[in-house]
Amino acid sequence: MTDDLTVTTTTASYPVVVEAGALASLPVRLEALGLRGNLWLICDGAVESLYAAPLAECLRAAGFTVHTYRVPPGDASKNPAQLGELHTWMIAGGVERRDAVLALGGGVVGDLAGFAAATILRGIAVVQMPTTLLSMVDAAVGGKTGINHPLGKNLIGAFHQPRLVLADTDTLASLPPHALREGWSEVIKHGVIRDAGLFAELEQLADSYGWSESAPGGLWDATDSARTTALSNIIRRAVAVKVEVVSLDEFERGERITLNYGHTIGHAVEQLSHYGLLHGEAVAVGMHAEARIAQLMGMCDDNLVDRQAALLHAYGLNTALPTYDLDAILALTMRDKKVQAKKIRWVLPTAIGTVQVRDDVPDELLRRALRIVDCRL
């Protein structure tokens, strides 16, 4: 067993467990947290029979009352009607303030179930149990919950910190290869923004188990326990970066902006691909472009750009900018949520493990950076 990580903010303190087999410890952990009310387990179709049904069994055997609700997989479930259905299900079932919502699944379930917990009876406890690599290293930690609005993603929501995050890395074994692969971009991002040691470890692992066509998920092999242990440890180290950052800045007033490295260009590219590119794939392209911006600004050398690109490639990620209209990319970057007083606040690396926020990137330099990443790789 590894030691738990702990998020400590001004409003909450909670354990974050990242471990193979962690789900089995849920009953004991709920008891320890004093969560003895009814449990409202929310999942999607992809994880229902694999993990939700056995988990509910194990909780019932320990004496808990468990209700289960399955939402359709995919971002479209983060909508007001679905949220209303979850509210109705809980109210009709007699939800009480001492109850807890269990969010089991990827970031979609985490955001939706988290927001349902934040809003029912003015807020009840939620336990986040992420089952995708992306949601383990990002969405499940930090308390951001919400749904989409027809005018934009994630526009309706609340900060609602979980009482516990339980990331069972064994669940990654069933993730489709492309979903696993995209998660590595956020892991690598955490190394670049804050943990040079994590970045170096990722390089070592890539040397040992490098990505190949025959293992397109990017290194995971459930039959090789030494490998899964090494990867679980590295995922835990990446989660620790998120834990540190949200502990420093719960409401995104400072440090938390650094988590957006790669996301200004990444979001633009994701939108221009009409979501044909997965989020993590778009972030990999964004990280490469933004590292190039930093290099052209004189903030870092070529070696950083090359090392980061090599690592992204080693984990099966592409860094070439798809051939989109530069004007369209520029226009979309101006709609980035980090824009303040009409200036984009760029998160740019100065070395592996360190970033700076800059709002003085000239348009011409940005175009030059995008032209370079368009044709080089």
Question: By the criterion CB under 6 A, which residues form the site for ligand NAD?
Answer: 44, 46-47, 73-75, 78, 105-109, 111, 131-132, 134-135, 138-139, 142, 144, 153-154, 171, 174-175, 179
Query: Is residue 144 among the annotated active site residues?
Result: yes
Nearest to ligand NAD of 145, 333 (CB atom): 145
φ, ψ for residue 232, nearest 5 deg: -60, -40
- Residue 229, number of CB atoms within 10 A of its CB: 12
Among the listed residues 260, 270, 290, 345, the single catalytic one is 260
> What's the CA gap between 346 and 261, in Å, rounded?
8
What tokens does 275 get? 């979501």
Residue 303 annotated as catalytic: no
Residue among 236, 255, 44 at smallest CA distance from 137 = 236
Sole residue written with tokens 């989660």: 239
- Alpha helices by DSSP H, listed for 96-176, are 107-119, 133-134
> Which of these is catalytic: 181, 267, 288, 292?
267
Least CB distance to ligand NAD at residue 330 (A):
23
Task: Identify whether 194 is a catalytic site residue.
Answer: no
Could you confirm whether 250 is annotated as catalytic? no
| Residue 67 falls in the annotated catalytic set | no
- CB closer to ligand NAD, 74 vs 123: 74
Residue with tokens 């956020």: 186
User: Of the candidates 119, 113, 139, which has an alpha carbon nearest to the alpha carbon of residue 16?
Assistant: 139
For this structure, is 186 an active site residue? Answer: yes
Catalytic residue among 78, 163, 181, 242: 242
The bridge status of strand 144-149 relative to strand 152-159 is antiparallel
| Residue 45 Cβ vs ligand NAD, minimum distance, rounded to whole Å | 7
**279 catalytic, yes or no?**
yes
Query: Rounded to the nearest whole angstrom, what is the least distance from the CB of residue 55 to ligand NAD in the complex?
Result: 12
Among candidate residues 256, 337, 338, 367, the one labeled active-site is 256
| Type of residue found at 80 | P
Among the listed residues 144, 163, 181, 345, the single catalytic one is 144
Residue, CB closest to ligand NAD: 107
Q: Active site residue: 87, 252, 307, 358, which one?
A: 252
User: Given the complex with ligand NAD, which of 171 and 185 has the nearer CB atom?
Assistant: 171
Closest separation in Å from C-beta 125 to ligand NAD = 17
In whole angstroms, the minimum distance from the beta carbon of 327 to ligand NAD comes to 26
State which residue, 183 or 191, has the beta carbon closest to ligand NAD: 183
**From 263, 288, 292, 345, the catalytic residue:** 263
Q: Which residues contact 198 (CB under 8 A, 6 or more apart)?
A: 187, 190, 191, 234, 237, 238, 241
Cβ neighbours of residue 327 under 8 Å, at least 6 residues apart? none
- Closest to ligand NAD by CB, 134 vs 332, is 134
Q: Is 260 a catalytic residue?
A: yes
106 or 286, CB closer to ligand NAD? 106
Q: What is the largest CA-CA distance in the chain?
A: 64
Is 14:4 a contact under the CB 8 Å cutoff? no
> Residue 133 CB, nearest distance to ligand NAD (Å)?
8
Smallest gap from Cβ 300 to ligand NAD, in A, equals: 26
Q: Please, which residue, 179 or 314, has the CB nearer to ligand NAD? A: 179
Q: Which candidate, 167, 373, 172, places its Cα nearest to that of 286?
A: 373
72: burial class by Cβ within 10 Å (0-12, 13-18, 19+)? exposed
Residue (of 283, 281, 284, 304) closest to 292 by Cα position: 304
**Residues with catalytic annotation?**
122, 144, 186, 242, 252, 256, 260, 263, 267, 279
